[in-house]
């Protein structure tokens, strides 16, 4: 399924039905009086966060969502039928923005959360509604209220516990492929990753979700490269995993480039806990590892630097444990063992708090 995290939609609620002007005409009833019913309300347009979706690709092929109009009132005091609502089913983590792409109308972060996008118009009153002691034969009825038409933007920000950041070819996709069942594209050229990838990673009996985004370059916060389009996907992460290529000749510059982009982008990324890792140590000897670690420690003002090789699996468990320590227990999920999964066929689909 193709990944899409931004979509434009056009929604319109239904108009209310018109009220009816009608009078009783039964035989042998001398003074029948008014019996016009009210019009039905128009249908509304809702957005609801549902499970099982992680892309907005459905809204690439259908952008217009129009709710039904309410039915007009009828004689014999019959009210019109209410128009059916329309529900836009979106992934968890979807922001709904106004047409200016800046005003946030709603942020759906939990399954089942819903928001009203366009309220249906009220139905008009029939002439029965206007009957009084001094006006017993009213010949007026209200028209139905017009529906609401809006242009909206849907922007998806993935719900993940860990966000991977680093320059292109820092080894982010290799790490995700080595620690989860995700299969991101891995190659020896920049910008191999063109869209975010999610993977479920397990360590010490618990599981958490890791998001891999395209590599950042200098000026990413201004729109250079691919990073600006996907930095929003790590805004909700509890911790960031910063990978630095140990084989690079400019380790210090690489580190400072990423940190600067996080600060310039804002949205709280600079305040998130960060696990710093010198990656690709399988290509370094002992002297090279020590030199790379010293450079990162100096550039980061004494942060703990972990040594890891995603390709060789060296140091991966220690990094996962460091990430797990930064994630609140409420976000972690109990890992389902193979024995338990065999006893319960549906165990693979269960998340246990």
Binding site members for Mg(2+):
173, 193
Note the residue count of the chain.
353
Task: List the structure tokens of 340.
Answer: 């338990």
At residue 280, φ and ψ (nearest 5 deg) are 65, 35
Closest by CA position to 155, among listed 260, 239, 267:
267
> Which residue bears the tokens 């790379």?
292
Give strand ranges (E) for the chain: 6-12, 45-50, 64-66, 86-91, 94-97, 104-108, 114-118, 149-156, 162-165, 197-203, 206-212, 239-245, 274-279, 305-307, 333-334
Structure tokens at 352: 């246990």
The annotated binding site for GTP is made up of 166-173, 191-195, 212-215, 279-282, 309-311
C-alpha neighbours within 13 Å on the C-beta side of residue 27: 0
Q: How far apart are CA 260 and CA 300, in angstroms?
A: 12
Cβ pair 279, 171 in contact under 8 A:
yes
Q: How far apart are CA 292 and CA 299, in angstroms?
A: 11
Binding site per annotation, positions: 166-173, 191-195, 212-215, 279-282, 309-311
Half-sphere exposure of 279 (CA within 13 A, CB side): 26
């Amino acid at each position: 399924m193709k990944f899409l995290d931004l979509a434009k939609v056009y929604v319109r609620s239904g108009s209310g039905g018109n009220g009816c002007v009608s009078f009783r005409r039964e035989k042998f009833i001398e003074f029948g009086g008014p019996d016009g019913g009210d019009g039905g309300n128009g249908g509304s347009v809702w957005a609801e966060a549902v499970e099982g979706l992680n892309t907005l690709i459905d809204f690439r092929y259908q952008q217009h969502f129009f709710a039904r109009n309410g039915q007009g009132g009828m004689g014999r005091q019959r009210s019109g039928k209410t128009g059916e609502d329309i529900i836009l089913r979106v992934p968890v983590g979807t922001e709904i923005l106004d047409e200016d792409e800046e005003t946030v109308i709603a942020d759906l972060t939990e399954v089942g959360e819903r928001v009203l996008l366009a309220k249906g118009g009220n139905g008009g009153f029939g002439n029965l509604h206007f009957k009084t002691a001094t006006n017993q034969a009213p010949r007026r009825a209200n028209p139905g209220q017009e529906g609401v038409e809006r242009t909206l933007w849907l922007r998806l920000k993935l719900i993940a516990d860990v966000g991977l950041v680093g320059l292109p070819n820092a080894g982010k996709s290799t790490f995700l492929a080595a620690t989860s069942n995700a299969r991101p594209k891995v190659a020896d050229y920049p910008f191999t990753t063109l869209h975010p990838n999610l993977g479920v990673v397990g360590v010490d009996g618990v599981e958490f979700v890791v998001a891999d985004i395209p590599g950042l370059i200098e000026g990413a916060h201004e729109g250079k490269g691919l990073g600006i389009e996907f930095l929003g996907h790590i805004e909700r992460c509890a911790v960031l995993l910063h990978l630095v290529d140990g084989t690079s000749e400019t380790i210090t510059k690489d580190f400072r480039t990423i940190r600067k982009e996080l600060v310039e982008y804002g949205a709280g990324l600079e305040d998130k806990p960060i696990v710093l890792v010198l990656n690709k140590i399988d290509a370094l000897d002992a002297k090279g590892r020590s030199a790379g670690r010293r450079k990162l420690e100096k550039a980061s003002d004494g942060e703990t630097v972990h040594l890891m090789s995603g390709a060789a699996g060296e140091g991966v468990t220690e990094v996962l444990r460091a990430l797990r320590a930064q994630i609140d227990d409420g976000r972690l999920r109990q890992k389902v063992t193979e024995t338990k999964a065999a006893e319960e066929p549906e165990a693979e689909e269960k998340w246990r708090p």
